[in-house]
Amino acid sequence: MTASDPSLVRPAPERILLIRPSALGDVARTVPMIVSLRKAFPRARIDWLVQEGFEAVIASHPDLDEAIGFPRKALGRSLRKGSIGQLTRWTRMLRERRYDVVIDAQGLFRSAWIAWTTGAKIRVGHAEARECAGIFYSRRIHARSTHTVDRMLDLLCAVGVDPVRDMRLYVGDGVSVDAPDGSIVLAPTSRWAAKRWPADRFGALTRRLLARTPHTVSVVGGPDERDQCEEVLAIARSNPRVVDLVGKTDVAGLARAIAGSRLVIANDSAAAHIAVGFDRPLVALYGPTNTACVGPYRRESDVLQRLRPEDNFAHKDPKNVEAMRRIDVEDVWRACVQRLGTANPSAPVEPRRVEPVG
């Protein structure tokens, strides 16, 4: 099957499962899939298999019936001990849901195998899926698009669905975070060194934001990433206008902080894609990454990137840190001024009074 030869589903499916467990940023930008499916099949039950811990970023979406946690770590521990009982029970739970259609938007052996274990007759995935995943699909689609969001939406032609490019995310009622609405959210971390803007420049930018804007600054990151944020956290220890959220929020709290922000300044990370989902002003700092494929969707003008012809896109290679170092503080500050609408970016302003948090 090719993308130019879509197959309709008749009768209309009653139960649909979308598989996209990770990573968090990829989960955030997969939401057009469920919007498209809901528009085409308004009466169907639509579930989403997502990595445990990531459910909150999609669970409140009005087009989704249930976010099913994928207990990857627990299953892995069980299998390493030589026990298959937990895996058997978990796959039985999926099979008992009797899905008519399963769409694997992850495209790896594990996700494709899960699609097969559901027993669904229609199992859709990319013909180019890695790790020989295609052997588990009943309908294989050749991707015709470049960006990962559009490539995922290409899969929908297998079930006769037109894509709806609605990236909106929703935050659940009652989710709170220790940061005031209107904060500037800094996301200075990344798993890969080549994706990190230098920490001292985040510190310099923070000092300028404090001196020249009235906004508080909230810094976010995981519990094991505090060392990457130390330049900003050092400022937070002496200035109550900098709110330390590093390791202090779950995914729901991160989403809430971004949803209420005035501006998001982020490395190539989940925070940038969540900002797109909440339609927040964004300055996205990118190094050796092909943004045409995986940049903030339809927000190309929000990307700061300084590539040279000799650069490659091997972001996992720590030798490629130079691309991020070419972005200087003045570059980012000008982008912030443009998005904040600061009338006189060189003049200090009277800050808003903020009580210390915690």
Nearest to 190 by CA among 58, 323, 293, 53: 323
Which 3 state secondary structure label does DSSP give 348? Answer: coil
Q: Does residue 343 surpass a pLDDT of 50? A: no
Pairing of strands 184-187, 45-51: unpaired
Take residue 65 and report the two structure tokens written for it. 């019936």
CATH of domain 15-159: 3.40.50.2000
Domain definitions of the chain by residue range = 15-159, 184-340
For domain 184-340, give the CATH number: 3.40.50.2000
With 70 as the cut, is the pLDDT of residue 321 above it? yes
Q: How confident is the model at residue 315 (pLDDT cuts 50, 70, 90)?
A: very high
Decide the pairing of beta strands 66-70 and 303-305: unpaired
Asked whether this chain's domains 15-159 and 184-340 adopt the same fold, the reply is: yes
Backbone angles phi, psi at 337, to 5 degrees: -60, -45
Task: Flag whether pLDDT at 194 surpasses 90.
Answer: yes
Sheet arrangement for strand 263-267: 242-244, 217-219, 184-187, 263-267, 282-286, 303-305
> Is residue 352 pLDDT above 80, yes or no?
no
Give 92-104 pLDDT, tens digit per residue.
Answer: 999 999 999 999 9
